[in-house]
Amino acid sequence: MKPMVMLLLGWLLSGCAMTVSNPRALVPFEGFVALAEDDRVQVEPGYEDYAIKVADLLPGAIARVEHAHGRPFRFAPRIHVCGTDECFKRYVLTPRLSAAVVPDNRLILSPNLNGREGDRLKPLLVHELAHLHLGQEIGHYDSNVPIWFHEGWASVTADGGGAEFATDEQAYRAAGEGRAIDLAARDTPDMRHKASAFNLNIYEFYRQAMLLVAKLKRQDELKFAAFTQAVQDNEDFQLAFWDIYGAGPETVLGTAWVRNDDSQERDSAAAAPEKP
């Protein structure tokens, strides 16, 4: 048997959620050591105090994600904590992120969350753990699930974490200008509809995605729970949506950008913090 095949089989048999869907999944994480207090946290040596903060938050963050997703993690989450920019940039290629789940289903935190963005550590840990949880079920950012739902569900789970840098008002204003997520757009492995596809900046996109998922959940929590279970069972996103809601997202959420003055129907318009 060829060495690469043996390596891939070893990953699969070890219980890791490796889909090997991206060559970057083959890049090993090196230079981390297990935190003595919690070996689920792997840390760049010298930054153990930062890792202890993460370990203290981890049980509550895991419980929050498991409650929101209605099932436990398939495998114990492992968090990689970078204390330097060099460490983080070695594994996260997208600029300006402070945390990410990278190919394939590996969660990494930047030093920003131990400094100027320290107040974001808890919500971003929850947000990224939500991505990791779904990734363990269906694979890393499966294109069957549109990006707006990936990001919106993670932000709703984290009470807005990951969508802080735009307000509800900014998201609605963009939609009023004709810049809104197109719910009829279908993602494919070769075409993912990110913010630029809708002429949105990344902050507006995340906020709109969060508002869409929050509205879907608020409309009928039982249907939302059934739908998210279907998503986690890797059912076709569109077919599952139709089965449960009786129409597509573009119909069910088609009036999402029409504001209602009833405070019970309005999403909270939190002030946007200063962008890092």
pLDDT tens digits along 118-140: 999 999 999 999 999 999 999 98
Note whether 27 and 98 are same-domain residues: yes
Note whether 52 and 154 are same-domain residues: no
Give residue 20's pLDDT.
38
Note whether 133 and 35 are same-domain residues: yes
Return the minimum-mean-pLDDT range out of 5-9, 124-128, 190-194: 5-9
Mean pLDDT computed over 189-207: 93
Q: Does the residue 7 lie in any domain?
A: no
Alpha carbon distance 214, 157 (integer Å)? 9
How many domains does the chain fold into? 2
pLDDT digit string, tens, across residues 80-93: 999 999 999 999 98
Q: Does the residue 34 lie in any domain?
A: yes
Residues 6 or more apart whose CB falls under 8 angstroms from that of 214 comprise 152, 156, 267
Contact assessment for residue 43 and residue 50, using Cβ atoms and an 8 Å cutoff: yes
The three-point CA angle 150-220-183 to 5° equals 40
Give residue 159's pLDDT.
97
The pTM assigned to this predicted structure is 0.85
Residue 89 belongs to what domain range? 22-138
Q: Does the residue 272 lie in any domain?
A: no
Q: 90, 109, 138: which is the final residue of a domain?
A: 138
